[in-house]
Structure formats: C-alpha cells, structure tokens
Structure 1
Amino acid sequence: MSNFASSKNLSQRMTSELGRAIVCGEYPRDKSLPTEAALCDKFGVSRTAVREAIKMLTAKGLISSKPKQGIRILPEEHWNILDAEMLSWSLQAKPSLHVLKEFTQMRMAVEPEACALAARHASQERLAEIEHALKRMELSVENNDQAAELQADIDFHVAILYATENRFYIRMRDFTTTALNVSIQHTNPAIANPKGVVEEHARIFNAIKTGNAERARNSMFLLIDEALSIIEQKLDQA
C-alpha cells in the first residue's frame, strides 16, 4: 500500500499517483474508481487529500465525480492531453510510441510556423538564447555528453517558442519540454551522425537570425519529418 503520510502536499502526490495509474490503464475504463474511503485506505491519506486530488483530476478532464454515480473515468477525448502532467503520464503508458507519433505530428503543425514567426519577430535577446542553446548542443556532442545534449536540444526548441513573441506559442513550453524529453531520447540515438543533428539545428537558427521565414519554416519541417520517420519505423518493428 502506498503511503504518502510524510509528504507536505499529499493531494498533489496522490493526484500524480492516481492520475498515472488511470492513464496507464491500471483501472478498468468501464467501471467506477474505488470510493473515497477506499482511496484513503489505499494511499494512506485523509479524505481531504483524496477530494483535492479528485478535483485536480476532474479539472484535467480525466474523471468525473457525481453523487450516486461515484468516480468515473471519462473517455479519452475529454482528457486535457495538452496538460504537461497528463502528457507525462501518457508517455509512461504502453505503447508510448503511439503517443510520441501523435505529438510529433502536432509538432509539424506548430514548430515550423513558430520558426517563421521567430524569423520575423525575434529580438536580439531571444536570438541570443537560441544561439546559446545551439552552442551548448555543439559542445555536448563534442564531449559526448548525452544528458547535456538532450537538455540543450530541448532548450533550443523552447527558445524558439519564446522568440515568436506570441503568448499562445510560449504557453506550449511545458508541453513541449515534457514530450521532447522522451522523444529526443528515441530519435537521436537512431541518427548515425550526431554532428549532423547539430548542423540541422544550426540551419534553423541561421534562417531565423537572417529573417528568412520560409527557410526557417522548411528547415524545422524537415527536422521534425525525420524524427517522425524514425518513430514510424520503430512502430513498424514493434
């Protein structure tokens, strides 16, 4: 039995544990979840913590809780999968490659246009942030530091979102960070030439820096298309 009694925030801990369990299919989708009393016993928390967790998961579109109906898991179309925490749970489910494929398809609709906007609107400060991430990528590849390379790669893509100066794109940062943290670990090892990955990112940055929106858009599209092809190959082999 899980016991979160020593946690300073029991409801958040329980939200994470219960949410992950639901998304990963540990509870039957066509039946009600255990009662509040049963959840209190299972997780070793108070009824208040359980109710707070239920509120949080309801806000994410994962469950509904109504009198006489109990706590029910909602159909997946109601789930707020743009929520970074929800995405993290989905990536822990099996098969996570299907989630990555959907995420990469969404990237193809978002990031190329983000690059075009960045080419038009990026300030010198924003350009410096993209360049700094690129230089860190170069250094980490030279040092064969995969953890540093992963973080720099993620920072590169997030910096482009900020460079759009568009609040809606910027709000994609947590979602993008969460998914790229898993996606890049699947795709980069499949690419024989790590320096080539850096060169592809450099082409994107140079297009943004010179204000060439069309080239920036196309360069990012090609980068994501390559990642999508790798994920699809892995799915075919699964």
Structure 2
Amino acid sequence: MGLDKNYSDEKKQITKIVVIEDNENFVKYLYSFFKFRSQHKIIHHFFNCKDAMNSESLGLAKILLLDIKLPQESGLEALPSILKEYPNLKVIVLTSFKDDEMLFEALQKGAVGYILKTDCFEHLENAIEQAKLGGMLFSPSMAQKILNHFKPKPVEKNNLTRRENEVLQLLKAGFTKKEMAAKLNISYNTVDTHVKNIYKKLNVNSNIRAANKNN
C-alpha cells in the first residue's frame, strides 16, 4: 500500500533557510552542517541585513538564522523591520553574546530561538524543528537565564518576634511609642527596645522605612 501523496510531499518538503552572518568561516561551517541534512537547505547567505531586506530570499524562506553583531545595522536593530515585512518568518538568533540584555531584547523583538555559536551545532537542528512547530528553543545556559528571570523570588522572613510584629503593626498605623506602650500595656522603655530591635533586624533607621520594608 503506497503512502498518501500529501503525506509523501510533506515528508519531502525542504525547510528553506536564509543566513545573515558576517563571519565567513562560520558561514562555511553552517553550509557544511546542512550539506548532509537533506530536509534543510540554505538558499542564501548575506553579510548584512540591508542586503537581505533588498532581496526576495526572505520571502521564500521559512527560517532566518540571524547574527547580532553585523556591519551597518545589528541583527537586533533590524529584527522588527524584518518581521514586519515577513511576519511568518521564524527567526533564530545565532550569537556569541551571553548577556541577559541581548537575550531578552531578542525575545521581545520576536526571535523564537537564541543559540550560542559555541554549542550551536548541538542544538540548531532541534531549534529549527521547534520553530517550524511554533515552539522556541535556546542554548541550555540561555534557557536557564529565562527560568531564573521568571522564578518566583523567595519571600524574606523578617525574623521578628510576636511582640515585635505587634509593635511594627502599630508603627505602620502611626502610633507613637507612648501610645504603643498604653495599647500593649507595657512600659515606654520596653517599646523603645522593641523598636530598636525592629530597626536592626529590618536594617532600617526610621518608622516610615520600617513600615514600608514590610509592606
């Protein structure tokens, strides 16, 4: 029984790739990498974004492999214009930059992958497949940066005693030390000691800052 024709055509479909990269040696590595991967094909390479935008190649491609540091205009500067003109293009950043700032700028501007050149040949093919399916993929170290960014921050415990927390609540409410002493049925000196301990534990030096510290 033969394969369904549509299924067969889908299996044969080649992913067309455009590369914008000014390092000739790295481009040669990319061509060598895809040479033995018949399902993917680099259809054009450009040294800068302007030449790529002035060609018809981006309109034919499914994937754009984009460097950041480029002559004339950086990859991140050009990215919004590229995606405005070719909204269906899947852009994977290939770079040596490990900065958080670069990573999040690439994501904000529409990149669907951020792969470091140092480990790109381990992850590039998978990144392309994920991009085609509507997913995203990053070098492990960059993925960890994203996870760290969105990880809930631990709630700091104030280490105050029950009585110190009671005094702190009265501080927030604007009570004076004399009023607190009457309210809690303790001496003024005891209130004063509690307030000093609160300042020390919260590392603040005023009632207002103590109140704000624990909001």
Whether TM exceeds 0.5 here: the answer is: no
Normalised by the size of structure 2, how large is the TM-score?
0.24
Which of structures 1 and 2 has the larger relative contact order (alpha carbons within 8 angstroms, sep 6+)?
1
Q: Comparing both structures, which one devotes a greater share of its residues to strand?
A: 2
Normalised by the size of structure 1, how large is the TM-score?
0.23
